[in-house]
Structure 1
């Protein structure tokens, strides 16, 4: 299945990619950090605390008196700076307390700033990602984003107050070029690698295999459905840029009874030529597999395709190597 919508790009704000909600004007009823929690918001109709109804989202107090005329905001530092292609603002479960209007802004800063420092940046320096819109309660609002500037932080405004459960910021990672020198994981999301095709994502997203660190359970990997036909499953990864592969790690940790039986890795050059990087070989469950790559099998390649036979999941895929000069030049052209 080739990807068609902005939802198929990584969520650059996700906590799974080290996104962080660094500031909010108010979080009297529900914490700002809930905005970027992986997965859909949950709701327990019987859950009440000392402050009122417990929500799996961000909820502010009702504005009164001198606060009337203002509005609430939250600032999110993206885990990976990038080029934004789409945003989802989710008000699920907020029915009588959702904000009437919402807007989303972006900015790119090159140094680390505290939330308080980011909140002091003048409005004129933020550019619109999602212009002010009339919001609906208990609804996922999807917006295509045409602004192609690099974004490091987003500001979520709700006017005047209320609750929002989740914010998703989907796009193409654009890390600093200085971080792409030497031997790196060419497939890692933090360096710009991304899944561009996948045969099946029934149980969990293939994006997980490019995530930070090691998985903590099977749910943090890619798991496909049980295949009943005679072909096989696969996932195709666009590398951070054209690169030469030195070694590969394929990790089936936590996949005890549903790892692939066999696997192979195919390298794909800029002109579409395919070369076998790792020949089809046996795969063990709950195991980190390492492969050294030499000669023509090392590329250069712009993407790789992992074929698993006949099906089965894995936790992580690491493609270690170096960008070519052409890879660097291509990346410079989009910054």
Structure 2
């Protein structure tokens, strides 16, 4: 089975995802479902409603029915898998869950979302407690919202919606960050991610702390560490941002960026440039050719908070990709 969990979490709060409706949040708010941090638990920590949980928890049902939470994806796209994480819910997790998806334009109200016609992507399935329950999804359509239904009640710590971002090109400017997760960039490989995953570099905004970037183990052999990123579309790159914010004693000594188009040979976009710790760097670049993927080499190792690859993409490719996934249904 494909390890879909390595793909971006389209529902993550880090990408702008949010819970727009929940029919019951008696014990714990549904907003916890989309938090990017792993869930935590402190035993025997009580408030006026009981044990405090880092997740969504509904009251015990005394009538037929089920509980529902609707999530707006921070980055609409093609869903490859769902992770219903019941971490720390042991005697109070739902025995079953199902997930539906929806594609809708604009900013619908909770009432409009509840009345919409949803597409089942995970049928009613058994759950285990205190476990990441993983469900692959095989649907090539672009979705904007998901609905988690727990049968009949209980607690879920996190809902991860892993997939590929498919941006709407009508909402993008002529020049933008084509490596950003929110714009359709994604990591396709890296040499080492001991302390932090490379897709963190592609998150929106400034890094909150050192753990919100890509960091490798200390390299004890010759060579250097690297990460490869597929861009939103073939792009004429104009600027490269390498941000070492928060990395003070562990920033790379230098870094370079190379590009490739359609699987061709690598070419220089940014030759190896020295880096300063805890500093945002911006480099104007003028590569002769467009690129649809890039390789960041950090020399020899260390951490990078953010990578931005700013340029002018091929609008036709963006539009074709969007149309293909919208029309897939």
Bucket of the pairwise TM-score, normalised by the shorter protein: over 0.9
* 1:295 Cα deviation after fit: 4.5
Q: Does 2:314 match 1:316?
A: no
Paired residue for 1:251?
Answer: 243
Asked if the contact 2:166–2:322 (Cα under 8 Å) also holds between the matched residues in 1, the reply is no
TM alignment of 1:17-56, pairs within 5 A: 17-56=15-54
Tell which deviates more after alignment, 82-91 or 38-47.
Answer: 38-47
* Equivalent residue, structure 2, for 1:79: 74
Q: CA deviation at 1:97?
A: 1.1
Work out whether residues 181 and 322 of structure 1, in 8 Å CA contact, stay in contact via their aligned partners in 2: no
Query: Counterpart in 1 of 2:169?
Result: 177
Q: Deviations over 1:262-318 (max 9, x none)?
A: 11100011132211111112111111111111251xx21110000011101111111
In 2: Cα distance, 1:45 partner to 1:273 partner: 55
Structure-2 change in CA distance of 1:74 and 1:329 (3 Å): closer
Q: Is the 8 A contact 1:10 1:171 kept in 2?
A: yes
Per-residue Cα deviation, 1:185-244 (whole angstroms, up to 9, x for no partner)? 111111100111111111111111111111121111111111111011011110001111
1:92 matched to which residue of 2? 87
Any conservation in 1 of the 2:261–2:290 contact (CA below 8 Å)?
yes
**Cα distance in 1, alignment partners of residues 108 and 221 from structure 2:** 53
- Number of aligned positions between the proteins: 324
Larger deviation, residues 71-80 vs 282-291: 282-291
Does structure 1 retain, via aligned residues, the 8 Å contact 2:236–2:287?
no
Question: How far, CA to CA, are the matches of 1:317 and 1:295 in structure 2?
Answer: 17
| 1:206 match | 198
Matched, 1:271 2:269: no
What does 1:213-292 correspond to in 2, within 5 Å? 213-292=205-284
Q: Evaluate the alpha carbon distance shift between residue 37 and residue 303 of structure 1 in structure 2; reply closer, same or farther with a 3 A threshold.
A: same
Structure 1 spans left out of the alignment, 5+ residues = none
How much does 1:333 deviate?
Answer: 5.4
SS at match of 1:327: helix
10, 13, 36: which one pairs with 2:11? 13
Q: Distance in 1 between matches of 2:307 and 2:287?
A: 21
Separation in 1, partners of 2:35, 2:182: 18
In structure 2, how many angstroms separate the alpha carbons of the residues matched to 1:56 and 1:116? 27
1:188 equivalent in alignment to 2:180: yes
Instruction: State the shift of 1:329 in Å.
Output: 5.5
Q: Give a deviation string over 1:95-151, Cα, whole Å, max 9, x none.
A: 111112100110011110233331232xxx111111111122112111111011111
Cα offset, 1:328, TM superposition: 3.3
Distance 2:69 2:316 in 1: 40
Distance in 2 of aligned mates of 1:244 and 1:154: 35
Alpha-carbon distance in 1 for matches of 2:249, 2:195: 15
Provide Cα deviations, 1:64-103, integer angstroms capped at 9, x if missing partner. Answer: 2xxx121100000000100001110011211111112100
Q: How far apart are residue 330 of structure 1 and its match?
A: 4.5
Q: Per-residue deviation at 1:332?
A: 4.4
Q: Residue 132 in 1 paired to residue 127 in 2?
A: no
Q: Distance in 2 between matches of 1:23 and 1:325?
A: 35
Q: Quick one: distance in 2 between partners of 1:334 and 1:132? A: 29
SS in 2 for 1:141: strand
Q: CA RMSD in A?
A: 1.4
